[in-house]
Amino acid sequence: MTSVNSEKLSSARFAQATDAFVEVFTASVDFDQRMAAQDIQGSIAHATMLCAVGILTEAERDAIIGGLTQIGGEIDRGEFVWSIKQEDVHMNIEARLTDLIGIAGKKLHTGRSRNDQVATDIRLYLRSEIVQITAQLTRLQAAIVELAAQHADTIMPGFTHLQVAQPITFGHHLMAWFEMLIRDRERLDDCAKRLNVMPLGAAALAGTSYPIDRQLTAELLGFSRPSANSLDSVSDRDFAIEFTAVASLIMMHLSRFSEELILWSSAQFDFIDMPDAFCTGSSIMPQKKNPDVPELVRGKSGRVTGHLVALLMLMKSQPLAYNKDNQEDKEPLFDTADTLVNCLRAYADMVPHITAKKANMYQSAKRGFATATDLADYLVRKGMAFRDAHEVVGLAVRLGLETQRDLSELTLAELQGFSPLITEDVFGYLTLEGSVAARRHIGGTAPETVRLAIEAARQRLV
């Protein structure tokens, strides 16, 4: 196993050693070591820039890059020994680099501070995480679109207030989920743009007196530009809050999906069958098939929203510039990214295997007078004012309730008793098929419109 220099790199100022408890209490290496690859990436770019402006010799640059590359290999192989004494990922790597290459390792920190270093590492880390999250989000969108394509004609009840409202198709309902995720994707893309600004070179808070080339460093690290104000650069965590806000919205959407899947898979709805691989049984009731994945995702949405609130509270009273409070930004941020990517992956894997119970959906749509609005629209087209039509249909529904029949099952004579405008053609509007087929406008539930929406969605995913 490799070792790290046990002498704390920032200890010369102090006459007393750090209290043992305080040393552990203030250390972040246990969790920020996950940014080791980003820290090494940033340090290699920084060393390359320092050489380009004449602060490091080519030999020193090459020694630093070689040492950092070796350290990266040690970390990847699990050979690196992390030390609490060095507090964080940055100091651990720098101490090991000095062990390996000597004084050149101590020159790496020229023109930078841990303040701008950590701000850069977090941005590099989040940039990478957003790529993974976007990939899983796209997989889920594609799965939703393909399931919707199978059910563009599958009729189910649409709900408001969780009461049967109007008939729709299952494909149309699924495409509503797709639209929610499209907005999430756009927010992620927008977040990534603001995230992609480089703080490195801001140093502790005021910049540096060395003739550094921040534009070169930004280009080497793939940032769109260097940050514009050194104070803001080291203290800004807006990008972390924005990412967590976007993640909270995505998790809220997944939670809504979960709620519907949980309801639909219950015996009371019985609209879908969840794949066995994503469900579990009961320890005592052998008949149970519990939708554990949707339930867990629904629960985890609260966890991510909690992280958003935590980050907002972390920043709300901080003066400029950097404060130790900001050490608390990483754990909620890391957990948010982990939770989000895992939930999206679970959903992307699960959705293609959901089975719709078409007959049950259809029969449920026939209950609750789902075509009542269609009868009102029919009367309006015959010349009746909508409010009067609303009253007429209410009376017809009351008869249906009293006789336990759907509107389509009432006789023509019974319907004409409510309005002489009703003729034989009304029954073409009172069927579930007629109702959904009539809604052919953009955004409507007609099967032909749903298929057009699906094709447009496929093009957006290319």
Which residues are identified as catalytic?
Answer: 161, 282
Euclidean distance between CA atoms 16 and 19, whole angstroms: 9
Please report which helix (H) or strand (E) contains residue 410, including its range. none
Residue 85, classed as helix, strand or coil, is helix
Helix 170-195 vs helix 447-461: crossing angle, to nearest 10: 30
Euclidean distance between CA atoms 8 and 84, whole angstroms: 10
Q: 375: exposed, middle or buried (C-beta count within 10 Å: 0-12, 13-18, 19+)?
A: buried
- Residue 442 DSSP class: T
Across 185-309, the runs of DSSP E, i.e. the strands, are 197-198, 225-226, 272-273
The number of angstroms, rounded, from the C-alpha of 353 to the middle of its chain's C-alpha atoms is 22
Shortest CA distance to 134 belongs to which of 182, 198, 66? 182
Euclidean distance between CA atoms 204 and 117, whole angstroms: 9
Region of residue 270 (phi > 0: left; psi between -120 and 50: alpha; otherwise: beta): left
Euclidean distance between CA atoms 275 and 278, whole angstroms: 6
Euclidean distance between CA atoms 113 and 44, whole angstroms: 15
Euclidean distance between CA atoms 212 and 230, whole angstroms: 14
Shortest CA distance to 458 belongs to which of 138, 85, 114? 138
In the Cβ-directed half-sphere of 324, how many Cα atoms lie within 13 Å?
6
362, two tokens: 């259809």
How many Cβ atoms sit within 10 Å of the Cβ of residue 422? 22
Location of structure tokens 């539930």: 445
Distances from the Cα of 460 to the Cα of 50, 137, 142, 441, angstroms: 43, 13, 10, 20
Shortest CA distance to 420 belongs to which of 409, 428, 412? 412
Contact indicator for 397, 415 with CB cutoff of 8 Å: no
How many Cβ atoms sit within 10 Å of the Cβ of residue 278? 18
Pairing of strands 272-273, 225-226: unpaired
Amino acid at 86: Q
385, two tokens: 């004012």
